[in-house]
Amino acid sequence: MYVRHPDNPNLWAFTSRSDDVVVLSNGYKISPLDTEALISTHHEIEGCLLIGSGKPQAGLLIELKDPSERNNELFDSIWAMVERANNSTFQKTRVQRDCIAFAEADKPFIPTNKRTVKLRATLELYTYMVVLSI
């Protein structure tokens, strides 16, 4: 996606890819990059994806560094990070506590060469979870 230069209408600046935007079924658009970056700073999180395109509610798919450590205390500390991220978004685009799912140990996120997540390929692994949890 590009934005027009504020002073020169012949110049454009690259801002993001169109598939970097989550469009909810209610028409609200969410740029997941800031939310994912903030939540991924949690010391137990390997990566996270903001999901929900075509759904009424946004959700998170989280990959833990050590999936065997998943417990209520860890979830509460992750939820605190989600609440911080939610504070910078519109009410209708916030992630609800019951819309958070965890990646399975035997299905890690698929990385790109740049060590980011291959969004489509990873979501294909979790299609059933995305449909059920949101």
In a domain? residue 128: yes
Quick: pLDDT tens for 117-129.
888 899 899 887 6
Structural domain of residue 27, as residue ranges?
19-133
The C-alpha angle with vertex 91 and arms to 73 and 5, in degrees rounded to 5, equals 115
Q: What is the mean pLDDT of the chain?
A: 86
More confident of the two residues 18 and 49 = 49
Structurally, the chain folds into a number of domains equal to 1
State the pLDDT at residue 44.
97
CATH of the domain at 59: 3.30.300.30
How would residue 9 be classed by pLDDT, with cut points 50, 70 and 90? confident
> According to the model, what pLDDT value does residue 119 have?
87
Of 122, 117, 82, the closest CA to residue 98 belongs to: 82
For 73, the token pair is 């205390």
Half-sphere exposure of 92 (CA within 13 A, CB side): 10
In a domain, residue 63? The reply is yes
Residue 28 belongs to a domain: yes
- Sheet with 100-102: list strands edge to edge: 45-51, 59-64, 100-102
At which residue do the structure tokens 């999936």 appear?
Answer: 67
Residue 129's pLDDT is 67
Q: Count Cα atoms within 13 angstroms, Cβ side, for 61.
A: 26
5 lies in some domain = no
Does residue 96 belong to any structural domain of this protein? yes
The predicted-structure confidence for 69-90, as pLDDT tens digits, reads as follows 899 999 999 999 999 999 988 8
Token pair for 89: 């978004």
In a domain, 116, yes or no: yes
